[in-house]
Amino acid sequence: MKESWRWYGPFDRITLSDVAQTGATGIVHALHEIPYGEVWTEEAILARRDEIADAGLGLDWVVVESLPIHEDIKRGEGNLERLFANYRQSMKNLASAGIRTICYNFMPLLDWTRTQLDAPVKRGGTALRFSQPHMAAFEIHMLERDGAEADYSEEVRAAAKDWFDASSEGLRQQLLNSIMSGLPGAFDRYDINGLREALKRYDGIGRDEIRANYARFLAEIIPAAEELGMRFCVHPDDPPRDILGLPRIVSCEDDIAWIMAEQDSIANGLTLCSGSLGANPKNDVPAIAKRFASRIHFAHLRNVAKEKDGSFQEAAHLDGDTDMVALAAALVAEERRRKQEGREDWEIPFRPDHGHELLSDIDSGTHPGYPLIGRLRGLAELRGVICALTHQDVSYA
């Protein structure tokens, strides 16, 4: 498997030299400075590709994460032909630069969502956390979203009320900032009133409508991906549940099966994110990896520890609720199958997703969830597992 690393370019406090020292050779990157819906020009792509390659560190840009989908497409709003044309042109420009794997998501309005960015870890350091009571407090008491109470249990609602009543304005602002932090590179950051207005644009749009809009996107994009020899891979919802009353439609095995069947093409694939899928108690992540192995083009490997009330916290990569060894074994087996078929693209790029802030990571100002040492620890652990799994011919006599 190809060891890779998410790098935010000019927005990142972690340098390419730092990345090279982790041992990773693939760069996962996006042109975050370009507004959603605009064309990624060939000049801009080549400049960033060459910046990575010309550093002389043995790094290359292997995956785009992500080529964002404009909210109008998700809502099915207005004349979308220009947005689809721009998206296809960006794809063509990426392909001409030799970059052929695109990770994307179809989460309405918000990307990944957490309620705390610095939850303490037992042996030191901090982690990302999603607290169900804190999210309920935000929706019910801060956002005052109609119908929010029905989305939470009585126990969670009571805990949410207790937290809200005891919280200061500073803590409430910190909660809002944490929820907004899942929009890396996005141009929209909402205050409470702004978020209310943004949600209004989704009035009357339910699960069926979101699915229909997604199906149209796939119909517009996947044939172009086939012609360009590209691999599209959808990222699961994070967390894998409805958020702010907005439907999430990439949250479980059945959702993935629907997506794969909607455009039954190797170009229409999956980013296997073990943390996102692992936050849903119904998901058996290694089993999902085995079922859709032939359509996995990219992997995010991380772990979460779930709690009974629906909360979860980022765990160390080999801890948490997902059997990471079994998952890695499924991916390694698929790589072996592809290699035996003689495929040139047999290698699956993966990156250590999210990490604890450890040691000098603390207060270093890196993107939430993307510290240097915490991810390096995760990469080292995953490297060891994969190394053991791929040494099939070693004798231990």
Q: Is 59 part of a structural domain of the chain? A: yes
Which of 177, 200, 223 terminates a domain? The answer is 200
Residues 33 and 59 in one domain: yes
Residues 222 and 325 in one domain: yes
Q: Is 84 part of a structural domain of the chain? A: yes
For the chain, residues with pLDDT lower than 70 are: 183-188, 392-397
Q: Is 316 part of a structural domain of the chain? A: no
Q: Cβ distance 132 to 363 under 8 Å?
A: no
The number of CA neighbours under 13 Å toward the Cβ of 344 is: 2
Q: Is 313 part of a structural domain of the chain? A: no
Backbone angles phi, psi at 116, to 5 degrees: -150, 135
Q: Is 249 part of a structural domain of the chain? A: yes
Return the pLDDT at 255.
Answer: 98
Cis preceding linkage at 239, omega within 30: yes
Task: Supply the CATH number for residue 330's domain.
Answer: 3.20.20.150
Which of 165, 200, 235 terminates a domain? The answer is 200
Residues 355 and 369 in one domain: yes
Rounded Cα–Cα distance for residues 269 and 21 (Å): 31
Residues 62 and 74 in one domain: yes
The number of CA neighbours under 13 Å toward the Cβ of 297 is: 27
Residues 188 and 217 in one domain: no
Residues 76 and 219 in one domain: yes
Q: In DSSP terms, which residues pair with 231 in a beta bridge?
A: 101
Residues 220 and 325 in one domain: yes
Q: Is 139 part of a structural domain of the chain? A: yes
Return the pLDDT at 183.
Answer: 65
Q: Is 298 part of a structural domain of the chain? A: yes
Return the pLDDT at 188.
Answer: 63
Q: Is 140 part of a structural domain of the chain? A: yes
Residues 63 and 27 in one domain: yes
Residues 194 and 245 in one domain: no
Q: In DSSP terms, which residues pair with 304 in a beta bridge?
A: 314
Backbone angles phi, psi at 67, to 5 degrees: -95, 100
| Sheet of strand 116-120: strand arrangement | 116-120, 126-130, 312-315, 303-306
Domain that holds residue 266: 2-112+205-304+321-390
Return the pLDDT at 189.
Answer: 74
Residues 106 and 120 in one domain: no
Please give, one letter per residue, the 3-state secondary structure of 4-36.
EEECCHHHCCCCHHHHHHHCCCEEEECCCCCCC
Determine if the pTM surpasses 0.85.
yes
Residues 236 and 93 in one domain: yes
Residues 16/101/183/143 CA torsion (nearest 10 deg): -160
Which of 150, 166, 200 terminates a domain? The answer is 200
Residues 254 and 292 in one domain: yes
pLDDT digits (tens, 9 = 90+) for 70-100: 999 999 999 899 999 999 999 999 999 999 9
Supply the residues annotated as catalytic. Answer: 235, 273, 300, 353-354, 370
Structural domains counted in the chain: 2
Q: In DSSP terms, which residues pair with 300 in a beta bridge?
A: 273, 351
